[in-house]
Structure 1
Amino acid sequence: MTPSSRLTPYLYVLPLVALLGFVFGYPLLKIFEFSFKMVRGIDGPWIGFRNYQLILGQSLFWDSVLHNLQLLLAIPVMVAISLIVSVLLAERVAGWKLYRIIVFVPFVLAIPIVAVVMKRMFQFSGPVNEMLRWLSLDFMALDWIGSSDVALWTVMILIIWRESALGIILFLARLLSLDESVTEAAKIDGAGWWHRLWHIIIPEMRGVIEFYVVVSVITMLAAVFSYIYIMGGGRGGPGTSTEVVELYIFNALIRSSLPGIAAAASVMLFLVTGVLIFLLFKVRQRAETSP
């Protein structure tokens, strides 16, 4: 094979790579550049790390970070729900194909649509509280959206409900591709449902579970803006109880007209997300290579 023939495949994909580099790479470089400038309009003077110092000195930013970290608590719940539901569906209970469609519907629907519906359901006089009152559970009828104590947890319920649908489909696809002879043999030997789940199914699904965890971490850190914006009325409220880093960036750019601050916060979010993803993949690589 001549050197020119080796380069031929790369030449075919070069235009697409160049296009992707321009569409995604150039804006990323500009964000890094803007984070070191006091931008007014389309440019501004170089101020070094001043934007970062201002952000790190704001309590609002740290509240936003704390809220993102709180949302990470939803990941174990999502994994557990997705795993249990997918295993039940994989056992092909009556109507399992219909149930498979139903559980995936939330993920197909657009986030704003889901958030608007859930916001109406969780209003103080909404269907959720009305049902609780009808069941004589008045003490559980909370101001789910209007109370700063529970607003973030209400958003977390919505995220768990929608994002678990992706996990169910991923896990179910993996389960349907497994060799059923192992689980059948375990049944014959008297292994219970939980024993089969813990000792056979979960080890076989380790790779897809780790992949789902990585996707969920990215979601909780950098893809919850739509949930927060709709449920919080565009303000992250009440007060700043549901303010997350994405909303902090949005407010800095759109409402405060501070592109430099928004760029610096975006860079920090990008770097932290990248580091976490790298660590998660390193852990997975180490687990695969270990005996």
Structure 2
Amino acid sequence: MDQTSRLKPYLYVAPLVALLLFVFGYPLVQIFEYSFKQIRGIDGPWIGFRNYELIFGQDLFWEAVRHNLMLLIAIPIMIAWSLLVAILLYDRLKGWKVYRIVIFVPYILAVPIIAAIMKKMFQFNGPVNEALRWLGADFLALDWIGSSDYALWTVMLLIIWREAALGIVLFLARLLNLDESLTEAAKLDGANWWQRVWYVILPQMRVVIEFYAVISVITMLSSVFAYVYIMGGGRGGPGTSTMVVELYIFGAIVRQSLPGIASAVSVLLFLVSLLLIVPLFAMRRRANEEETA
């Protein structure tokens, strides 16, 4: 094979790579640069790590980080719920194909639409509380959105409901590709449903579970802006009870006109996400090796 033939595949993808570098690479470089500057307008003087020092000294930033970390509590719940529903669908319940479609609908709908509907439903005099009062469970009719004690947990509930739909589809896709002879053999040996799930199904699901866990962590750290913006009234309310890092960045650049601060927080969020993406690619490579083995 001559030199031209070896270069031909790279020449085909070169325009797309150049476009991606321009669209994503240039802004990324600019954000790193702005994080070390005091930006006023389109540029500003170099101030080193001053922006980072200001961020680390702000209680609001650490509160936003704490809220993102609290949202991580939802991940084991999402994994357990997604696995349970996926395995029930895998057992071919009557109408399971219809259920599969219905369950995935929340993930298809835009987050702002779902968040706006859920905000209406969970208002103090909304349908959820009205239903609880009608059932005689007045003690459960809480101020889900208006109370700083419950607002973040309500957002978490919405995130679990929507994001678990992706986990269900991922797990079900993997289950439908399993070797069913192993499950049948375990059934013939007298293994009950829980034993078949624990000793036969889950070990074969390990890579997909790890993949979904990493994706969920990235989501909770850097992809919950739309949820908290709609549910928290655009300001992380009530008070700062639903303030997260993404909303902190939005406030710094839009409301306070501090691009340097916003860039510094964006850099930190990017680095954390990158640390999570690296093991994600390692899992995919290991999964491919196991499938080809």
TM-score range, shorter chain: over 0.9
- Answer whether contact 2:207 2:287 (CA < 8 A) is retained: no
SS of alignment partner, residue 260 of structure 1: helix
2:188 matched to 1:188? Answer: yes
Distance in 2 of aligned mates of 1:193 and 1:55: 52
Change (3 A) 1:279 1:172: closer
- Answer whether contact 1:72 1:217 (CA < 8 A) is retained: yes
Which one-letter code corresponds to 1:179 in the other structure? D
2:68 matched to 1:68? Answer: yes
Distance in 1 of aligned mates of 2:253 and 2:200: 50
2:260 matched to 1:260? Answer: yes
Aligned to 2:278: 278
Which one-letter code corresponds to 2:273 in the other structure? T
Distance in 2 of aligned mates of 1:241 and 1:151: 7
Aligned to 1:209: 209
Distance in 2 of aligned mates of 1:258 and 1:2: 54
Change (3 A) 1:177 1:288: closer
Deviation, 1:137, is: 1.2
- Answer whether contact 2:86 2:171 (CA < 8 A) is retained: yes
Change (3 A) 1:105 1:183: same
Which one-letter code corresponds to 1:209 in the other structure? I
Count of residues paired in the alignment? 290
Aligned to 2:99: 99
Deviation, 1:285, is: 7.2
2:233 matched to 1:240? Answer: no
Aligned to 1:121: 121
Deviation, 1:138, is: 1.1
Change (3 A) 1:286 1:176: closer
Tell me whether 243-252 or 120-129 shows the greater mean CA deviation: 120-129
Tell me whether 4-13 or 80-89 shows the greater mean CA deviation: 4-13
- Answer whether contact 2:183 2:196 (CA < 8 A) is retained: yes
TM-score when normalising by structure 1: 0.96
Aligned to 1:80: 80
- Answer whether contact 2:68 2:245 (CA < 8 A) is retained: yes
- Answer whether contact 1:34 1:264 (CA < 8 A) is retained: yes
Deviation, 1:286, is: 8.3
Which one-letter code corresponds to 1:193 in the other structure? W
Distance in 1 of aligned mates of 2:155 and 2:40: 35
- Answer whether contact 2:106 2:162 (CA < 8 A) is retained: yes
Unaligned runs of 5+ in 2: none
TM-score when normalising by structure 2: 0.95
Change (3 A) 1:285 1:5: closer
Aligned to 1:223: 223
Per-residue Cα deviation, 1:231-278 (whole angstroms, up to 9, x for no partner) = 001111000000000000000000000000000000001111211333
Superposition RMSD in Å: 1.7
Tell me whether 160-169 or 181-190 shows the greater mean CA deviation: 181-190
Aligned to 1:8: 8
Tell me whether 84-93 or 191-200 shows the greater mean CA deviation: 191-200
- Answer whether contact 1:67 1:243 (CA < 8 A) is retained: yes
Which one-letter code corresponds to 1:252 in the other structure? A
Change (3 A) 1:160 1:184: same
Aligned-pair identity (%): 71
Runs of 4+ in 1 over 2 A off after TM superposition: 276-290
Which one-letter code corresponds to 1:30 in the other structure? Q
Tell me whether 13-22 or 3-12 shows the greater mean CA deviation: 3-12
- Answer whether contact 1:210 1:284 (CA < 8 A) is retained: no
Which one-letter code corresponds to 2:169 in the other structure? I
Aligned to 1:171: 171
Distance in 2 of aligned mates of 1:79 and 1:271: 25
Distance in 2 of aligned mates of 1:276 and 1:104: 26
